[in-house]
Amino acid sequence: MKIIEQHRPDVLELRSGGGIGLLLFSLPFAGVGLFVLYLALFVPGGIPIFFGLPFGSIFLLAGLAAGLGRAGKIIDLRQGTIVAWWGLLAPWRRRTYRLHDFESVTLNREVRQSKNSSYTVYPVRIQGADQKISLGETQDYFKSRRLAGRTAKFLHLPLSDAGLGQERIRSPELLGLSLRQQLLQREAPPALPQPPGELLTTIKRKGNSIMLQTPPRAGRALATAAALAIMLASLILAGAGMAIIRQFELPPVWSWITLLLPPLLGMLLAGKVWRALGPGVCERLIADPETGVTLQKVRAGGQISGLKKIPADELEEVMVLNPQTEIEGPEFMQHIATHFGNRGIAMLSDKDMIKFGKKLSGRELQYLDNLIQATMAS
């Protein structure tokens, strides 16, 4: 749902539906429905009415609902109500809720399953003890995060944010404030922590800023060996497929598919693994209370790429992702798991996120999290 700006500071209105895209999407359905109804009702000897009437009506109603359907929520602090409405072009049906029945705003991560695919959505809801109101969902975490934050701040309710897999309770008083503003509001801003012992990260201080740099990834020999093993396996698979095709005398098109598809997939997977184990690439994070946080990828020879930055006035959260998940096993499996896993330190604004230190231990990540927060408060 989109927030509709109001002149009244005590009213928040959200609305969904409409737009050229939905209208164009709905026209074929409505057109098919009208055409079937016309054949069933007005053309002698056309489609039998017992089939055409329900079939055409379903398509017509689906097209009208998709193209002209509207829904919305009106939150009125003065009246103490939430009005949910539905209709075609205008409200047809309304339902009123009392604000005092609700205690939080929630943002979750949910996987929707269909017959052939799945996708992730981030629903936003107003939650009560025995009821909840949906404010909509998107496939973009940051769009849902902005909607949830704006609603929670307006209602002065805590925001339960589990969009990244672990729940955080965000106070309504701190929503919209930068991390530095939040930390400086504390009675005792965080002090610089003591290191927990030997660290993999290189730490350098310059004035009020710090630079954190992770060690380079695995060596070239390991990365090359893993990539070659994948390519060899794909070629063996292609050869086995060709033998099966010759044995059963399948059409020639299967020969081309078998010759091309396994090596192509092998090349893509080998490239992924080689980059995961890639040599000579370090992550460098610069945290400065005045300018914000900047992530760089430093390659062999000092070449910098992959620059990403969140300004200090937009940075709202620093958190450790999955701090208790330690990775065990051979070194090359650890590198692959950390490359593809959801782990590290996340620095968030309402528009973007920076992740740092995916292959560090949970203890070191917790220390760096405290160090970054103390630096941003200095």
pLDDT tens for 42-96 read 888 778 888 888 888 888 888 877 777 788 899 999 999 999 998 887 778 899 9
Provide the number of structural domains found in the chain: 4
Side-chain half-sphere of 328: how many Cα atoms within 13 Å?
Answer: 1
Higher pLDDT, 56 or 187: 56
Instruction: pLDDT band for 146, please (50, 70, 90 cuts).
Output: very high
CATH of the domain at 99: 3.30.720
Q: Residue 33 has what pLDDT?
A: 86
- Which tokens hold the place of 152? 């929670």
Q: Same domain, yes or no, for 211 and 325?
A: yes
So what's the pLDDT on residue 331? 47
Give domain status of residue 366, yes or no.
yes
332 pLDDT band (50/70/90 cuts)?
A: very low
- Burial zone of 20 (CB within 10 Å; 0-12 exposed, 13-18 middle, 19+ buried): exposed
Residues 229, 151 share a domain: no
Sheet holding 317-321: strands in order across? 317-321, 344-348, 353-356
Helix residue spans in the chain (DSSP H) = 20-42, 49-68, 141-155, 179-184, 220-248, 252-276, 331-340, 362-376
Residue 369 lies in a domain: yes
Cα 347 off chain centre by: 14
SS3 content of the chain, % helix, strand, coil (to 5): 40, 30, 30
Whether residue 186 is contained in a domain is answered as: no
233 and 342: one domain?
no
Nearest to 283 by CA among 212, 340, 230: 212
Q: Do both 10 and 39 map to the same domain?
A: yes
Whether 20 contacts 66, CB under 8 Å: no
Is residue 15 situated within a structural domain? yes
For residue 197, is it within any domain? no
Is residue 31 domain-shared with residue 112, that is, in the same domain? Answer: no
Of all residues in the chain, the percent with pLDDT exceeding 70 is 89
Residue 293 pLDDT more than 80?
yes
Query: In the structure encoding, which two tokens stand for residue 355, read together?
Result: 């992740």
Instruction: Please name the residues in contact with 110: beta carbons below 8 A apart, sequence gap of 6 or more.
Output: 120, 121, 122, 123, 137
Q: In 3D, which of 312, 304, 315 has the Cα closest to residue 352? A: 315
Residues 251 and 358 in one domain: no
Residue 185 within a domain: no
pLDDT mean across residues, the chain:
85
Asked whether the beta carbons of 51 and 86 are under 8 A apart, the reply is: no
Same domain, 213 and 344: yes
Candidates 138, 148, 145; CA nearest to 352 is 145
Q: Are residues 126 and 29 in the same domain?
A: no
Domain edge (last residue) among 13, 40, 72:
72
Last residue of one domain, picked from the residues 276, 296, 320: 276
What pLDDT was estimated at residue 67? Answer: 75
Residues 302, 210, single domain; the answer is yes
Residue 165 lies in a domain: yes
54 in any annotated domain: yes
Cβ pair 70, 16 in contact under 8 A: yes
145 and 255 belong to one structural domain:
no
Question: 211 is in which domain, residue-wise?
Answer: 202-217+280-376
Q: Looking at the structure, do residues 121 and 147 belong to the same domain, yes or no?
A: yes
In this prediction, residue 30 has a pLDDT band, given cuts at 50, 70 and 90, of confident
Return the closest-CA partner of residue 125 out of 103, 95, 156, 94.
103
Q: Which residue from 20, 103, 11 is spatially nearest to 67, judged by alpha carbons?
A: 20
Q: What is the pLDDT of residue 324?
A: 53
Give the pLDDT of residue 127.
95
User: Does residue 210 share a domain with residue 333?
Assistant: yes
